[in-house]
């Protein structure tokens, strides 16, 4: 799987792109300078194939690298962070 995760500020989402195109996204909003991750969606044809985890990692890695303030309300990402405590430091609020 050749995957690329990139921020699409115009759509307010991080997108995971595979060779075939858009495979999923993490939607966000900006509140008082904080990125709030609100929803994760993966195309049904990619469910169970690690695309959601790759998307979560790519999103959280980029936010950590940028030093953004982050709050997570998305249930999928909350569970992902519980299972991968190395990402707890990315979340600065909530």
Which tens digit of pLDDT belongs to each residue from 40-61? 999 999 989 999 999 999 999 9
What single DSSP character describes residue 86? G
What single DSSP character describes residue 47? T
Task: Work out the burial of residue 75: count CB atoms within 10 Å of its CB; fewer than 13 is exposed, 13-18 middle, 19 or more buried.
Answer: exposed
Instruction: Judge whether residue 66 has pLDDT over 90.
Output: yes
CATH number for the domain that contains residue 35:
3.40.630.30
Percent of the chain with pLDDT over 90: 89
pTM (two decimals)? 0.93
Which domain range does residue 67 map to?
A: 4-90
What single DSSP character describes residue 92? -
- Number of folded domains that form the chain: 1
Q: Exposure string (b/e) for 17-56, b if CB count within 10 Å is 16 or more? A: bbeeeebbbbebeeeeeebbbbebebeeebeeeebbebbb
Q: Cite the beta strand spans of the chain per DSSP E.
A: 4-8, 13-18, 21-31, 34-42, 69-72
């Amino acid at each position: 799987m050749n995957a690329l995760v990139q921020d699409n500020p115009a759509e307010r989402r991080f997108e995971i792109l595979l060779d075939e195109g858009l495979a999923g996204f993490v939607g966000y909003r900006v509140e008082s300078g904080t990125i709030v991750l609100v929803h994760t969606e993966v195309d049904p044809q990619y469910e169970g194939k690690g695309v959601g985890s790759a998307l979560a990692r790519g999103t959280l890695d980029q936010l950590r690298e940028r030093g953004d303030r982050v709050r997570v309300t998305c249930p999928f990402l909350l569970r992902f962070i519980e299972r991968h405590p190395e990402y707890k430091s990315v979340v600065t609020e909530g």
